[in-house]
Structure 1
Amino acid sequence: MPLTKLFSARSRYIVVATSLSAIALLPFKANAAEPFDKGPASPSADNVDERRYGPIRQKLSDWNVMVAGGAMYAPKYEGSDEYEVVPIPMVSATIGRFTISPGGLSVDVLEANGFKVSLKGGYDLGGGRKEKDSTHLKGLGNIDAGALVGGQISYEMGPVEFSASVDKTIGGSDGLQGVLGANVSHNYNNFIFAAGASATFADENYMQSYFGVTALQSARSGLPQYDAGAGLKRFDVEASVTYMATENWL
């Protein structure tokens, strides 16, 4: 398949097939009493010095940890018509305004009247591309993944949440991406129904790295040279159903 068709070069808009995933989740909260109530008989939990351990007990009670695993059926690389199954192990921990996950650290810096502003930094786990991933990429070289810094602002209005985010990749494509989206959720008994839609925009650096063909790449690959401009990269729709089996399992 010609790269111009694969990347929708004529329209300068990239259409990427959505991925499907099946994930089982195990969230749990640390119990502040557990580190002390289930220890050796001496010293007993009743004799714990609250002046020393009180703050620690309170902090442990604020932890919220989620462990999840599953699989995703998705394109081998962004824009590809070849698919593969990818395992998804996920672990995240939230304490107060801080959330730690494999992608990095997120901090809620402001939360008031339905508005929330967050800053994040970490590693672009989904970024990068290897030339060996497909014969279509022969002669185009590799794109390294890089560090990621960004921020998000969101507003909740009842069951609806609107959000806007910006992410800057440091290294690799050195690109900038922005996402505008909205989500709605509804609780019914033990079920949570949710749906959303979003549009992703990217600057020229990102688009040229992933979808353009430079003069050197053209000479190596035999593909026509193409300059990819900034604009709409992707439009996504999503839906989910969550069942709360117990307080800690969903």
Structure 2
Amino acid sequence: MIAKNLLGLVALAAMLPVAAAAQDAATPPASAAELAEEMGGDTVTIGLGVGYMPDYEGSDDYQFTPVPGVIGSVGGVNFQVLGNRASADLIPNQPGPTWDFQAGPIGVVNFMRSNRSGIDDPRVRALGDLDTAIELGGYVGIGKTGVITSPYDKLSVSVSYRHDVTNTHGSGIWQPTINYFTPLSTKAAVALFGSAERVETKYLRTYFDVSPTQSVASGLPTYNGRGGWKSWTVGAMGTYSLTGNLLKGFKLIGGGTYRKLINDVGDSPIVRDAGTRNQWLGVLGLAYTF
């Protein structure tokens, strides 16, 4: 789950070159699909970064993790495959300052506490390994190009729902999101974003409850929580071209987020006693667009 959100940041940064390159173009492309046509075909960005993130969601111990990703447009379909997360927008964008309707599938492989060797805290390790969950679902959203700083900035809102199909936690997650990005020049662009997550009770009981048996093994107090709003997140991301402009070639990407765990998740001893409600994430990497 932690890796999922960081990988999403890399996806956002990889999308920024489309808007940034548009600012000084004679016939500026306004979408990934139009950019692909102007370049004589499809467009793909590949990237590799290093993320610094908690051992598990709620941990106060951190580790470095590789963050690979691919994002692009093929046949008018915008897609991203980023580590443990994949999604696609099946509605092609329209050129120019206009409304952008979004809808498509989402898939996430949730590795939350599936490998005890990656957890420093002995109390949390003593709770045992969890199976990997595969969460499938979809999202809908709407965006507007040309809203504040130029004809090429973009504000969008969306809501997604995904459900565990492996019965690891056997429940669903709702996630509303708001994104804003703007080009600064043909070399640089920035983005701001915020989101929240609401989980069902089975999710919380799988990842944040402590049973009597687990309490004896770990020393943490027993705990039974209920579903509801789990967290809110804010962050920023930026990208800067290293080879001329952001339409092609190499670029740096970087950014971070702050996440606050709230309600029954924040009150879990796995978070309150063994970790912290305050979660920080950072990434720095290199991408190439062709």
TM (norm. structure 2) is 0.60
Q: Which residue of 1 aligns with 2:257?
A: none
1:164 aligns with 2:145: no
8 A contact 1:107–1:120 mirrored in 2: yes
* Equivalent position SS for 2:213: helix
Q: Which residue of 2 aligns with 1:34?
A: none
Identity value in percent: 24
Q: Which residue of 2 aligns with 1:53?
A: none
Which of 101, 109, 119 is matched with 1:115 structurally? 101
Q: Which residue of 1 aligns with 2:79?
A: 99
Q: Which residue of 2 aligns with 1:184?
A: 180
Distance 1:221 1:125 in 2: 23
1:73 aligns with 2:41: no
Q: Which residue of 2 aligns with 1:14?
A: none
Structure 2 residues not aligned, in runs of 5+: 18-36, 94-98, 146-153, 252-290
Displacement after TM superposition at 1:98 (Å): 5.9
Q: Which residue of 2 aligns with 1:174?
A: 170
Distance 2:198 2:124 in 1: 23
* Equivalent position SS for 1:124: strand
Distance 1:86 1:103 in 2: 13
CA RMSD of aligned residues (A): 3.3
Q: 1:168 is matched by which residue type in structure 2?
A: H
Q: Closer, same or farther in 2 for the Cα pair 1:73/1:107, shift >3 Å?
A: closer
Within-5 A mapping of 1:207-222: 207-222=204-219
8 A contact 2:106–2:136 mirrored in 1: yes
Displacement after TM superposition at 1:91 (Å): 3.0
Q: Which residue of 1 aligns with 2:136?
A: 149
TM (norm. structure 1) is 0.68
8 A contact 2:55–2:62 mirrored in 1: yes
Q: Closer, same or farther in 2 for the Cα pair 1:160/1:237, shift >3 Å?
A: same
Distance 1:218 1:76 in 2: 20
Q: 2:105 is matched by which residue type in structure 1?
A: L
Q: 2:215 is matched by which residue type in structure 1?
A: S
Pairs aligned (count): 202
Q: Which residue of 2 aligns with 1:131?
A: 116
Displacement after TM superposition at 1:20 (Å): 11
Q: Closer, same or farther in 2 for the Cα pair 1:19/1:152, shift >3 Å?
A: closer
Larger Cα-atom Rg:
1
- Range with greater deviation from structure 2 (142-151 or 79-88): 142-151
8 A contact 2:134–2:164 mirrored in 1: yes
Q: Closer, same or farther in 2 for the Cα pair 1:20/1:26, shift >3 Å?
A: closer
Q: Which residue of 2 aligns with 1:7?
A: none
